[in-house]
Amino acid sequence: MAGTERKGYDGGRRRRKVLRLKIFLGLVSVLLAGAAVVLGVVLWQLLQPAGVAVLPPGEQTVMATLPEEETWKVTEAADFAALENTGDPILDAANLLAKQYNYDAAIELVRGVEGYAEKPGYPEAIAAFEDLSAQCVDWTSYGQITHVFFHSLIVDEELAFGSDKRDDFNKVMTTVDEFKKIMQSMYDRGYVLISLHKIARMEQQADGTWAMTKQPIRLPRGKKPFVLSEDDVCYYEYMTGKGFSTKLCLDENGKVVNEYVERDGSVVYGSYDVLTVLEDFIAEHPDFSYQGSKGILAFTGYDGVLGYRTSDFWYSDTCDYYISNPKNDAEKANDHTSPNPNIEQDKQEAARVAQAIRSLGWELASHSWGHPDLKNISYERFAWDTDMWEREVEPIIGPTDIILYPLGADVGEWMPSSYGPENAKYQKLKQAGFNYFCNVDGAQYWVQINPDNFRQGRRNLDGFMMYKQILHPERVLTSDLFDAETVFSSARPLPVPGVE
């Protein structure tokens, strides 16, 4: 057989190859053993409580031999030694600040205590914070901050993928388990959550004008900031009974939790969506958050927000701006649980939850009121929709200057000049107070910090994109963040529709 002949022919060459490989591997293991000894000594020194403050002379060498993205792991080893739980509330609070890279605030907190220099552990803590701070570097690649987004997470995969919306869910949704794996992988690879306002913000310049201004970002070498958002955090009526959480609410201790209705109708409270799952993860890994940064939640208004049916337009019979015509009347009767007799109470409750979410460090954003294609609708419809958002949603969630375009449909082209005086839709959004504008883009990075605005493209980490990555392993779709093969749920029907 041709195959056997070929095997025999290659045999001699293969043995020589194997021998060369053995010599090579031998050399490599000698080198690796040497490196391990150096690393071991350095880590041992770093882990000494008193040695935390001072980086040993060998540290530079180890940093130089590790690939850039790995060097923060050495720094992190020091973190864990310095920032352990002490039982002292001031030190513990300061350690948490330091774990989240806010060294100045940590130092200030300890120094604020009277007689701190005499208190056991306090001067050591300050020295450790100063040294950890000195190891950080300025993040200068503002153009290389990735932004990933999700929709409400699937809790019950069998229900969701067995429902009448299975194709949509399969494409644009992510499951709770997939989300947890993605966060773990991004954490392991050195990603750190950052708020948009910590990347750049509108600041008054020396000449009195206002401009979007880059903010200093300092992180351990090799750690990478990223932005995360979740769209349509409304728990729409059509999703009820299809395997998703039904609302965000506060438990008896004022903690933000998800409500989830089990198949047997029993109601449970816990972590069933992006916010709550991520809060759990950050509680375990505080260094996943840059100075307390969390994600962005974006809301439409037509079905209410956070799972509360708060739209007067659809849920109040006495709404004086409701437009009665055959189409709207039919929709009101068929598509909405109309009216909501508790609408005023629900608005207050939603506002309370939104405030609690803000207090956790989350940013809240507009996703338009009615989820139209903002790029292609008429200006009149666009202006009406923007006004409706300000009328029905802003009073509940509070003012915001972030808009995450529904359907990713940007009101301008990619050039910064397309957000100029002649772009009436952009001008309307600016007047409504928006400064941050996010579309959807498959590129790893898409960031513009212009004088009048901040623009960023977002990447959908959903069934569509993961399946596409699996079909095209040579492309970078999600592979810079996680391994799609290990994350992708085996409960997903295949193929994911529309993926080529």
CA distances (Å), 177 to each of 211, 263, 489, in order? 41, 19, 8
Tokens representing 253? Answer: 């201790």
CA distances (Å), 499 to each of 75, 150, 157, 465, in order? 41, 18, 20, 8
- Tell me if 349 contacts Zn ion by CB under 5 A: no
CB-nearest residue to Zn ion: 231
Q: How many residues of this chain bind Zn ion (CB under 5 A)?
A: 3
- Tell me if 225 contacts Zn ion by CB under 5 A: no
CB of 9 or CB of 238, closer to Zn ion:
238
Q: For the beta carbon of residue 315, count every other beta carbon within 10 angstroms.
A: 23
Q: Which among 156-164, 226-234, 380-388, 451-459 is the span making contact with Zn ion, rule CB under 5 A?
A: 226-234
> Dihedral of CA 481/484/489/494: which sign?
positive
CB of 231 or CB of 287, closer to Zn ion:
231
CB of 405 or CB of 419, closer to Zn ion:
405
- Tell me if 408 contacts Zn ion by CB under 5 A: no
**Smallest gap from residue 232 Cβ to Zn ion (A):** 4
CB of 349 or CB of 410, closer to Zn ion:
410
**Smallest gap from residue 76 Cβ to Zn ion (A):** 36
- Tell me if 156 contacts Zn ion by CB under 5 A: no
- Tell me if 370 contacts Zn ion by CB under 5 A: no
CB of 232 or CB of 410, closer to Zn ion:
232
**Smallest gap from residue 404 Cβ to Zn ion (A):** 8
**Smallest gap from residue 288 Cβ to Zn ion (A):** 25
The angle subtended at Cα 93 by Cα 88 and Cα 97, nearest 5°, is 145
- Tell me if 231 contacts Zn ion by CB under 5 A: yes
Pairing of strands 146-150, 191-193: unpaired
Tokens representing 166? Answer: 């299975």
- Tell me if 406 contacts Zn ion by CB under 5 A: yes
Q: Residue 40's beta-bridge partner residues?
A: none
Pairing of strands 191-193, 218-220: unpaired
**Smallest gap from residue 278 Cβ to Zn ion (A):** 19
> Dihedral of CA 398/401/402/403: which sign?
positive
CB of 232 or CB of 401, closer to Zn ion:
232
- Which 309-338 residues touch Zn ion, going by CB under 5 A? none
Pairing of strands 136-138, 218-220: antiparallel
CB of 76 or CB of 231, closer to Zn ion:
231
- Tell me if 301 contacts Zn ion by CB under 5 A: no
Calculate the CA 100 to chain-centre distance: 15
- Tell me if 286 contacts Zn ion by CB under 5 A: no
**Smallest gap from residue 26 Cβ to Zn ion (A):** 57
Q: Which among 120-128, 223-231, 437-445, 447-455 is the span making contact with Zn ion, rule CB under 5 A?
A: 223-231
> Dihedral of CA 276/277/278/279: which sign?
positive
- Tell me if 232 contacts Zn ion by CB under 5 A: yes
249: left (phi over 0), alpha (psi -120 to 50) or beta: beta
Residues 6+ positions from 302 with CB-CB distance below 8 Å = 311, 313, 314, 369, 370, 371
**Smallest gap from residue 405 Cβ to Zn ion (A):** 9
Q: Which among 236-244, 311-319, 402-410, 454-462 is the span making contact with Zn ion, rule CB under 5 A?
A: 402-410
CB of 232 or CB of 363, closer to Zn ion:
232
Q: Is the peptide bond before 57 cis (omega within 30 degrees of 0)?
A: no
**Smallest gap from residue 248 Cβ to Zn ion (A):** 17
Strands (E), 47-158: 136-138, 146-150
**Smallest gap from residue 152 Cβ to Zn ion (A):** 10
DSSP character string of 161-187: HTSTTHHHHHHH--BHHHHHHHHHHHH
Tokens representing 272? Answer: 């069933």
Q: Which among 115-123, 232-240, 356-364, 473-481 is the span making contact with Zn ion, rule CB under 5 A?
A: 232-240
**Smallest gap from residue 178 Cβ to Zn ion (A):** 19
Q: Which residues bind Zn ion (CB under 5 A)?
A: 231-232, 406
